[in-house]
Structure 1
């Protein structure tokens, strides 16, 4: 997905459904940070929360994968 397509989705599909106080959670895909997205969400009095960058040391499933690989 590119930034233009995501902006169109936010402006025409997502934003009209948002209510004041809603929270939109996005990852760090560059398309999620193009101009116009933050404004479209803020105009509906909703908030954006960006997930932190991926950190395998903080993800419990990564430890389980390491243990499973060591067991085989």
Structure 2
């Protein structure tokens, strides 16, 4: 089993854009309400298992809680 983590942030904004020559490009971007969302899941040959979404970045205590409370119960007993 592999454990994979990915995330998205609302503070990402374009650095470049297009507009008519001689015109100024004005684009609204999120400002001041920056958030990070993290998705972590186990990956098996049969597909995803034990998915979890966090409202914030992954930290050591969050990872320990994920393994203990979500991932371990999905593992087969030997």
TM-score band, normalised by shorter chain: under 0.3
Higher relative contact order (CA 8 A, sep 6+): 1
More helix per residue: 1 or 2? 1
Q: Which structure: larger Rg?
A: 2
Report the TM-score when normalising by structure 2.
0.22
Report the TM-score when normalising by structure 1.
0.23
